[in-house]
Copies of this chain bind each other. A is one copy, B any other.
Amino acid sequence: MIKLKRVLTIAMALSSVVLVAQSDEDVLKTIYKQSLTNGQSYQWLNHLSNQIGSRLSGSLGAEKAVAYTKEELDKLGLDKVWLQPVMVPRWVRGAKEYAFIETERGKTNTVNICALGGSVATPGLGLKANIVEVKNFEELEALGKAEVEGKIVFYNRPMQADLISTFEAYGGCVNQRYSGAVEAAKYGAVAVIVRSMNLRQDDLPHTGSMTYGNLPVDERIPSAAISTNDANLLSTMLQLNKDIKFYFKQSCKQLKDVQSYNVIGQITGSEFPNEYMVVGGHLDSWDLGDGSHDDGAGVVQSMDVLRLLKESGITPKRSIRVVLFMNEENGLRGGKKYAEVAKQKNENHVFALESDSGGFTPRGFNFDCSDASFSQVLSWEPLFKPYLIHYFEKGGSGADVGPLKTETNVLAGLRPDSQRYFDHHHASNDTFDAINKRELELGAATMTSLVYLFDKYGINPINTSGNIKK
């Protein structure tokens, strides 16, 4: 019996020698192979999407998702798994919204809308008013109170189709959705209808967060998104007759904050246990679809990073944490709480990577880091080439990891192919059938590879002269 034990010990020692001798090329090959042939992310996402479904902060779905992901992390044999309490806002949609365009009394065209997240309801019987179209806040200002008061403001600036990054196109439009109500209220508007943030022409309204800023409660006006097809229809009908009326009804409301959690798992570092590397996505989603791309994909990929490290025989020197953030969509409370607690505990977070741009074919990463760290990343480009990972750009990372930024650490965001993302984003078709298993698994492997490299080589700090300190 002792003999067998000794043989095993020797065999294990030998096998770790073999691992140490492995080139980075070999390690990445192992990681990608593990993910593509033995990945867990797709099965986890199937459960999260099809058994649990949407996970809006404070909902039963969110609660179930916390329990499920904690349970699954518990099975992975990590060094530590825990829940981090965080209070989250709770907004509920209520009954399905209803809207129509009225050309003359009794002649109506039903259109597809959904309340924006955080919006107030219309009066119980709905709201009907004249409607005025603008493309941006400058046009709104030019119209002024005379043209806006008592009316619904219709923001109809489309996402710019000739931008290659659809996230850039989104960035160029989303102020209509986020600040449209508070801007329109200044001029006495009674409500706001916003063209959906969608590059396709279709019938699906896309929700998303909006703000009332400092607007007193009694001055808040209801705000809804309209599908791109219906935005075009409404625009055409307004050109034919500016006196048409728009009716809509929604019964959403903001309830009291409720208790929720970030879900955290950790592999404790073998050499530098007090240096933390985070990989994460957000567990909450909007309520219309099942949140498969936004951000179920990021959640399961992040979970799989820790599993893939283990399965690939990698013993990280630093402590690697998966953090499943709660409430990215309408509050970012989870991201803020995590950073707050990290600061309180004086935890040195040297690296944080978020996946929150969909589960499509990974193309690379964005980095929020020093030039020295970015040079380090660029030196790894050849390692990623066999996996068609080619995009390494400075600027941007992820909303949830943003609060962890320090002068010397590295924040990163996975960048999948973005062409299809806004077809699904915040809409009822953000569902599991839009996920491709291989694309999801390639993302998990790509994240794992970056974590492996930063753990192995450490973060290049900058000295005061801005040069790399070895």
A390 and B32 CA atoms in complex are apart in Å by: 20
Complex interface: stretch among A18-26, A285-293, A435-443: A435-443
Q: Is A405 an interface residue (CB 8 A)?
A: no
Chain B residues contacting A37 (CB-CB under 8 Å) are: 161-162
A33 contacts chain B at the CB level, 8 A cutoff = yes
Q: Which of B32, B391, B417 contacts A162 (CB 8 A)?
A: B32
Partner of A161, one of B387, B423, B438: B438
Distance of A52 from chain B, by nearest CB (Å): 22
- Which B residues lie within 8 Å of A33 (CB)? 162
- A363 within 8 Å of B by Cβ? yes
Chain A residues numbered 363-418 whose CB sits less than 8 Å from any CB in chain B: 363, 386-388, 390-391, 417
Smallest Cβ-Cβ distance to A420: which chain B residue: B436
Contact for A419 among B161, B166, B423, B439, CB less than 8 A: B439
A164-B387, A363-B388, A417-B361 known; A438 vs B36 contact (CB < 8 Å): no
Given contacts A436-B423, A439-B419, contact A164 B32 (CB under 8 A): yes
Chain B residues near A442 (CB-CB < 8 A): 164, 419
* Interface residue? A70 (CB, 8 A): no
Contact with B along A218-239 (1 / 0, CB 8 A): 0000000000000000000000
Known contacts A388-B390, A419-B442, A420-B439; 16 further A-B pairs (Cβ under 8 A)? A32-B164, A36-B161, A36-B162, A161-B438, A164-B386, A164-B387, A199-B438, A200-B437, A361-B361, A361-B419, A363-B388, A390-B391, A417-B417, A419-B438, A419-B439, A420-B436
Q: List 20 A-B contacts (CB under 8 A).
A: A32-B162, A33-B162, A36-B161, A36-B162, A37-B161, A37-B162, A164-B442, A166-B438, A199-B438, A361-B361, A361-B417, A363-B388, A388-B390, A390-B390, A390-B391, A417-B417, A419-B436, A419-B438, A419-B439, A420-B439
